[in-house]
Amino acid sequence: MASKVRFTVGSNVWVEDADVAWIDGLVEQVTGDELIIRCTSGKKVTANVSSVYPKDAEAKRCGVEDMTRLAYLHEPGVLHNLKSRYGMNEIYTYTGNILIAVNPFQRLPHLYNNHMMEIYKGAGFGELSPHPFAIADRAYRYMMNYGVSQAILVSGESGAGKTESTKMLMQYLAFMGGKVQSGGRSVQQQVLESNPVLEAFGNAKTVRNNNSSRFGKFVEIQFDQSGKISGAAIRTYLLERSRVCQISDPERNYHCFYMLCSAPAEERERYKLGDPASFHYLNQSNCIKLDGMDDSSEYIATRRAMDIVGISSDEQDAIFRVVAAILHLGNVEFVEGSEADSSVPKDDKSKFHLRTASELFMCDEKALEESLCKRVIATRGESIVKNLDARAAALSRDALARIVYSRLFDWLVNKINTSIGQDPSSKLLIGVLDIYGFESFKTNRCLTGASIMLFVEFD
């Protein structure tokens, strides 16, 4: 709600607009709480004083780097400042120690290279242009100067760029706390390479984002007294399990499924995989390929990242065996069986996928079929086996796929944490929290073609 401001004829104001959210203009007439405003577009509007905000007529055309310097820190003032800076290709803006990022929807590698990290290293907060490196450097300096652990919160709607920005923060902290390694894998290498592994299994294409994290992540980076990284721990939560079995057009399932279907021929043959469009868990959407993303190259890169974080070749094979098994499991269809309310695999195709899934899961085929087509009810002193009809068997199949995938994801995270190792003696920590994207599209999107994200650093 607008504050109670006394407006007079000639006042510069912002008034709500159905098309562009806010439009500026001059007050031409005041009648009690009703204002007649001539907008810069030329049209006249009548508005109640409660929905009108004052405008700073002397605001800089290019905006300000820190919005605490704005004459009026209200919604139209904030959005106008962000829009002005975005028009000047300035995608970062401060509000005190909060960094607001507006997604440019393009790669800007010159903003995130080693040269840029050197520039922000040790610079006073606010001396240079707003940047994620400034937030990370401030957190690092506070930790080292005052011996107080820090946390950085990254929040915003899906597609705002949280995943990429979290990687930038970790990149800078690894730059500041990296150790020269004489051999083997360094902690900072493992921390950074955990990103592509988790993205392969926890990210997917959504309506507005080709690489949306479908889980929350808190990365705790531990430092020794000299400021070097000595350990790390990754905690994940809220994995979107439903996506494994159900996707809508034009979204995709998790990247790893498409990567495996694009693996080298001998690996696809081993897992009995073919065109991803032939699998039920993938073909519910018409989007199979992504522009600018080569699934076969991503598969190789993911395997390489797994090597770095300490996942052995045998473990990698087991991981992808489970991924393939889930795809085959999704192609098992059911029809009515000979008994009342019972079900059986629909045809030879379903039996093939059931058999292949059991081989990949390394379990008995008949036992797998019965676990899908029957339910065991435990009562006091006995167990009752109940048949499931075709619909219930399909639901049981999907439930199994979701649970197995969720357990696989949890295992991956635990394995990465074990490989990286933690430093129990460390008392200096920096945590980076990547909050799950919120998706109220009608209200979140307040700049045409832009998504907004907040970085908040606090001790």
pLDDT above 90 for 378: no
Active site (annotated) includes residue 147: no
Identify the active-site residue in 166, 195, 209, 262: 209
Residues 6+ apart with CB under 8 A from 66: 93, 94, 95, 96, 126, 130
Residues 6+ apart with CB under 8 A from 230: 187, 222, 223, 224, 423, 426
Say whether 162 counts as a known binding-site residue.
Answer: yes
Q: Could you give the residue ranges of the DSSP H alpha helices within 121-239?
A: 132-146, 162-177, 187-202
| In the chain, % of residues over pLDDT 70 | 93
Say whether 381 counts as a known binding-site residue.
Answer: no
pLDDT above 70 for 95: yes
- Say if residue 88 is exposed, middle or buried (CB neighbours under 10 Å; 0-12, 13-18, 19+): exposed
Residues 215 and 224: their CA atoms lie apart, in Å, by 29
Of 97-111, 212-226, 434-448, the poorest mean pLDDT is in 434-448
Give residue 313's pLDDT. Answer: 97
Give residue 231's pLDDT. Answer: 93
Residues 217 and 240: their CA atoms lie apart, in Å, by 13
Say whether 160 counts as a known binding-site residue.
Answer: yes
Identify the active-site residue in 158, 203, 206, 230: 158
Give residue 156's pLDDT. Answer: 84
Spell out where 303-367 has E strands: 334-336, 343-345
Between 60 and 446, residue with greater pLDDT: 60
Say whether 11 counts as a known binding-site residue.
Answer: no
The predicted model gives 321-348 an average pLDDT of 96
Report which of 154, 152, 132 is spatially closest to residue 216, judged by C-alpha positions. 154
State pTM to two decimals.
0.88
Active site (annotated) includes residue 298: no
Residues 240 and 85: their CA atoms lie apart, in Å, by 35
The predicted model gives 40-68 an average pLDDT of 93
pLDDT category at 447 given cuts 50, 70, 90 is very low
Identify the active-site residue in 165, 206, 213, 253: 213
Unique residue bearing structure tokens 């006042």: 11
Structure tokens at 306: 């797994």
Residues 40 and 18: their CA atoms lie apart, in Å, by 15
pLDDT above 70 for 219: yes
Active site (annotated) includes residue 159: yes
Structure tokens at 214: 């479908």
Report which of 117, 93, 225 is spatially closest to residue 171, judged by C-alpha positions. 117
Identify the active-site residue in 25, 202, 231, 437: 437
| In the chain, % of residues over pLDDT 90 | 79
Q: Say if CB 139 and CB 457 are below 8 A apart.
A: yes
Active site (annotated) includes residue 417: no
Identify the active-site residue in 34, 118, 336, 439: 439
Residues 279 and 254: their CA atoms lie apart, in Å, by 13
Q: Say if CB 210 and CB 107 are below 8 A apart.
A: no
- What stretch of H or E contains 345? strand 343-345
Between 107 and 248, residue with greater pLDDT: 248
Give residue 459's pLDDT. Answer: 47
Residues 211 and 162: their CA atoms lie apart, in Å, by 10
Average pLDDT, the chain: 91
Identify the active-site residue in 103, 212, 331, 358: 212
Say whether 161 counts as a known binding-site residue.
Answer: yes
pLDDT in tens, 246-283: 999 999 999 999 999 999 999 999 999 999 999 999 99
The rounded radius of gyration (Å) of the Cα atoms in the chain is 27
Q: Say if CB 217 and CB 434 are below 8 A apart.
A: yes
* Domain spans in the chain, listed from the N-terminal domain onward: 12-54
pLDDT in tens, 387-411: 999 999 999 999 999 999 999 999 9
Residues 280 and 329: their CA atoms lie apart, in Å, by 9
Active site (annotated) includes residue 158: yes
Class level of CATH domain 12-54:
mainly beta
Give residue 181's pLDDT. Answer: 62
Active site (annotated) includes residue 439: yes
Residues 453 and 102: their CA atoms lie apart, in Å, by 7
Q: Say if CB 431 and CB 220 are below 8 A apart.
A: yes
Of 76-85, 138-147, 225-234, 448-457, the poorest mean pLDDT is in 448-457
pLDDT category at 446 given cuts 50, 70, 90 is very low
Identify the active-site residue in 103, 149, 163, 417: 163
Active site (annotated) includes residue 213: yes
pLDDT above 70 for 439: no
Give the rounded distance of the alpha carbon of 392 from its chain centre.
33
pLDDT above 90 for 18: no
pLDDT in tens, 290-332: 998 999 999 999 999 999 999 999 999 999 999 999 999 999 9
b/e per residue, 388-424, with b = 16+ CB within 10 A? bbbebbbebbbebbbebbeebbeebbebbbebbeebe
pLDDT category at 379 given cuts 50, 70, 90 is confident
pLDDT above 90 for 364: yes
Give residue 382's pLDDT. Answer: 86
Give residue 412's pLDDT. Answer: 95
Give residue 160's pLDDT. Answer: 83
Active site (annotated) includes residue 419: no
pLDDT category at 450 given cuts 50, 70, 90 is very low
Q: Say if CB 244 and CB 253 are below 8 A apart.
A: yes
Task: Label the pairing between strands 428-434 and 92-95.
Answer: unpaired
Give residue 155's pLDDT. Answer: 86
pLDDT in tens, 152-209: 999 888 778 888 899 999 999 999 998 766 456 788 889 999 999 999 999 999 988 8
